[in-house]
Amino acid sequence: MENVQQILENQVLTVAKAMEDKIDDEIAALDRLESDDIEVLREKRIKQMKKMAEKRSRWISLGHGDYSEIPSEKEFFSVVKASDRVVCHFYRENWPCKVMDKHLSVLAKQHIETRFVKIQAEKSPFLAEKLKIVVLPTLAVIKNAKVENYLGRRGGKNRVMWRVKEKERGT
C-alpha cells in the first residue's frame, strides 16, 4: 500500500513541477515584452474587438437580442437561413407557453449571438409535422439551418423534461 502511495505522490509532484515550469516560462515571456510587443498585442486586441462589434451589429440587424414572433412558415425558413443559431419556440396560447415566452425574452437579451423566435404551432402544420412536434411548448435548437435538438415537455408529464446533448453542455 505504501508503494502505491509513493508512486502516486511522485506523479503528483511531477505534474506540479511541470505546471510550475510552464507558469514560470509564461511569466518570463511577459517580463521580456518590450513596448513594441505590447503595441502588437494591443493592435491585435483592437482588431478582435472591431470584428466582434461588426458581428454584433450584424446580429442586431437580423433581429438578434429581441424575442419576436414569426407570422408564417415561409418566414421561418428565411430566419433560419439568415442566422447561424436560432432557438424557435413552438407555442399556443396557454399558460406554459406564456411562461416560456417570459424566460425566452430574458435569454434573448443575454445571448445576442442567438436569434430567439416563436411560431404558433397550430398555424404552421407543415413545420410541426416535419419536426415531429407533439407536445407544446417545444423549443427547437437550430444550428446552421439544421435542427440540432429539441427542448420541452415530454408527452403528458406535468413537469418540464430538458434533454440536452452532452457535447452541448460545455457550450
Confidence of residue 1 (pLDDT cuts 50, 70, 90): low
Structure confidence by residue, pLDDT tens digits, 74-124: 999 999 999 999 999 999 998 889 999 999 999 999 999 999 999 999 999
Rounded to whole angstroms, how far apart are CA atoms 124 and 60?
26
User: Kind and range of the H or E element at 36?
Assistant: helix 35-61
User: Kind and range of the H or E element at 5?
Assistant: helix 2-31
Which residue is it, cell 411560431? 119
Q: What is the residue type of 72?
A: S
- What per-residue string of b and e applies to 94-109 under the rule 16 or more CB within 10 Å gives b? eebbeebbeebeeebe
Which residue is it, cell 509513493? 6
Answer whether 0.85 is exceeded by the pTM: no
Residue 152, C-beta contacts closer than 8 angstroms, at least 6 positions apart:
135, 136, 137, 138, 139, 160, 161
pLDDT at 155 over 60: no
Nearest to 72 by CA among 114, 117, 109: 117
> What is the sign, positive or negative, of the torsion defined by CA atoms of 100, 104, 107, 109?
negative
Structure confidence by residue, pLDDT tens digits, 44-82: 999 999 999 999 999 999 999 999 999 999 999 999 999
